[in-house]
Copies of this chain bind each other. A is one copy, B any other.
Amino acid sequence: MSPERPYFGPAYEYEIDPEFRPSYLNLERDVPSLPVEPGIVVRPVLGKRLNISFIYFEPQTVAPVHQHREEQIGTVLEGSLQFELAGQQRILRRGDVYVIPPNVPHGAVTSEEGCITLDVFSPPREGLRELVERSGNQGKGRISS
């Protein structure tokens, strides 16, 4: 890391968006579980430019091949799944990452074991904010200011 641009750089003058509060959240306590397909539940945390989603797959589950305009990067946290990305299939486990540019078709299936992935989207995945707001429990973890 060059001394001219340290990763943890010095303080600078800035303005903070009053509408966008920093927060601590605990997945179990503060983040809604949203069923999106049989055997698939999503726990999303929303920012403004991006969102992260913890996705829980039961064994023998199919996330059909689909596409969306959001950029996506994901990784396997637990278990395994067979992923399909731009027609290429791979078995993925912890330590594997997939990069999905906008509009590129992808999907996944689990077999004997379940899987937990962490998927990140920018901009936030369409429809997710609405679903979270409807579930009514985003924001419990906010820092009081």
Residues of A within 8 A of B (CB): 1, 5, 7-12, 14-17, 20-28, 31, 34-37, 42, 45, 47-52, 63-64, 66-69, 71, 73, 75, 77, 83, 85-86, 88, 90, 92, 95-107, 118, 120-123, 126-127, 131, 141, 143, 145
CB distance from A124 to the nearest CB of B (A): 10
Contact across chains for B36 and A7 when beta carbons are under 8 A apart: yes
A sample of 6 inter-chain contacts (CB < 8 A) reads A8-B36, A14-B69, A24-B88, A26-B97, A45-B73, A49-B49
CB distance from A90 to the nearest CB of B (A): 5
Candidates B95, B102, B104; contact of A28 at CB < 8 Å: B95
Q: How many copies does the complex hold?
A: 2
A85 to B25 Cα, complex, angstroms: 12
CB distance from A57 to the nearest CB of B (A): 13
